[in-house]
Amino acid sequence: MYDGIVQDLIDELGRLPGVGPKSAQRIAFHIIQTESFDVDRLATILQTVRERVRFCIICGNIGEEERCAICRDPRRVPTAICVVEEAKDVVAIERTREYRGLYHVLGGALNPMQGIGPDQLRVAQLMTRLQDPTVEEVIIATDPNVEGEATATYLIRSLLPLGVRVSRLASGLPVGGDLEFADEMTLGRAFEGRRTVER
């Protein structure tokens, strides 16, 4: 419906998650019509992000160096590892200020239907980290939905034989949702009330 480049922009914006054709059109028009919108800045940031952002070689979190800001921070408590699905879950937990340990980002959840098994997640890397006797507790903080629960169950079965303390966030998280959308209070309390999984 539009002349070339405008349609290209709408198509490209429509590829972003949660952006339907109408939103893509609205965003495109905003960019075109708002003189003060700095397209060069957005373009540069997009390219810089791809160049600079790296996944931490230890925990899989995102950052701009070989090791992420949390793994580099000597004030973090190295005896606990909190296992999450995505890097954005790290941010959600950090916001609660309830937790001072380290993280492990799986990169998703088990989903056999989509061909995502343990080998597609950073499970082996977690096992390697647990060979360090410094780690006393693994806190499982996967999303409280079907895939997250399946992932938690799988991890519990794999971790308990290692003799490490395994805990899960307290229920209190609204079931069926994504961890990242929980408010800070709910998430903070879920952290406080985490329970140890009995062998």
Give the residues lining the site for its own copies (CB under 8 A). Answer: 1-6, 8-9, 12-13, 15-19, 22-23, 25-32, 37, 39-50, 52-53, 62-64, 68-69, 86-88, 91, 94-95, 180-181
Count of positions (residues) in the chain: 199
Q: Which is nearer to its own copies, 2 or 171 (CB)?
A: 2
Q: Are 59 and 80 spatial neighbours (Cβ–Cβ below 8 Å)?
A: no
Minimum CB–partner distance for residue 14 and its own copies (Å): 11
How near is the Cβ of 172 to its own copies at its closest, in Å?
Answer: 21
CB of 27 to its own copies, least distance (A): 5
In terms of CB distance, is 27 or 197 closer to its own copies?
27
- If the CB atoms of residues 63 and 172 are measured against its own copies, the closer one turns out to be 63
Nearer to its own copies, 151 or 167 (CB): 151
Q: Which of 113, 174, 179, 182 is nearest to 140 (CA)?
A: 179
The span from the CA of 46 to the CA of 151, in Å, is 32
The letter for the amino acid at 144 is: P
Q: Report the nearest approach of its own copies to the CB of residue 18 (Å).
A: 5
- Say if residue 74 is exposed, middle or buried (CB neighbours under 10 Å; 0-12, 13-18, 19+): exposed
Least Cα distance to 158 among 83, 93, 55 occurs for 83
